[in-house]
Amino acid sequence: MKKNRVAVKPDAPLAVFIIGVKINKLWAVHSWLKSVLAMKPMVDELYRNKEELGFYHTEYYLSWRGVTLVQYWKSNEAIMSYSRGKKHTKAYKLFYQTAAANTSLGIFHEAYSIEPNQYHSLYVNMPESGLLKALENN
C-alpha cells in the first residue's frame, strides 16, 4: 500500500471503458451464467497481449446484483479494434444467444476518450489501483 500521496501525470491520451452486467432474475442462473463467465477469457486475453492491444488494466466492482469492470486503454480506437476480434465476437454472440433472448440479465457499456491534461487522479494511503495501476508500467 502506498503510504503517501501519488498522482498520475495526465500527459497522454487515454480511453476508459466501463462494462457491466445486472442480474435481473437471480433464480434464472441457467439463462445468464454463461454470459457472465464469458468475460474472463476476454480479460485474460487482454492481459496476455496488453501492449499489442493498447490495453492497460481492469478493475472489478461487485454490487448486489451485478459486476462492473472499469478498463483503461490507450485509445478508443484500441477498444474498437479489440471489439472486432475473434474472442470478443465469440463472447458477444454467446451473450445474444443466451442472455439477450430473455430479460434475466442486463448489460451496458460506456467508452470515453480523454485528451492529455484533461484528467487527474490522486491516491493517498491507497494500494495501486485504478488509473495509477493502469499506467504504472506504461
pLDDT for residue 3: 60
Query: What is the sign, positive or negative, of the torsion defined by CA atoms of 15, 47, 49, 40?
Result: negative
Sequence-separated (6 or more) residues with CB below 8 Å from residue 112: 15, 16, 17, 76
pLDDT for residue 127: 87
pLDDT in tens, the chain (138 residues): 556 888 888 999 999 999 999 999 999 998 888 888 888 888 999 999 999 999 999 999 999 999 999 999 999 999 999 999 888 888 778 777 766 677 888 889 999 999 999 999 999 988 889 999 998 866
Q: What is the pTM of this model?
A: 0.89
At 59, list the grid cell: 478493475
Sequence-separated (6 or more) residues with CB below 8 Å from residue 98: 31, 32, 34, 35
From CA 117, how far away is CA 110, in angstroms rounded?
Answer: 21
Q: Which long-range contacts (CB under 8 A, 24 or more apart) does 24-28 make?
A: 24/65, 24/103, 24/104, 24/105, 24/106, 25/103, 25/104, 25/105, 26/65, 28/102, 28/104
Q: Does domain 5-135 have CATH number 3.30.70.100?
A: yes
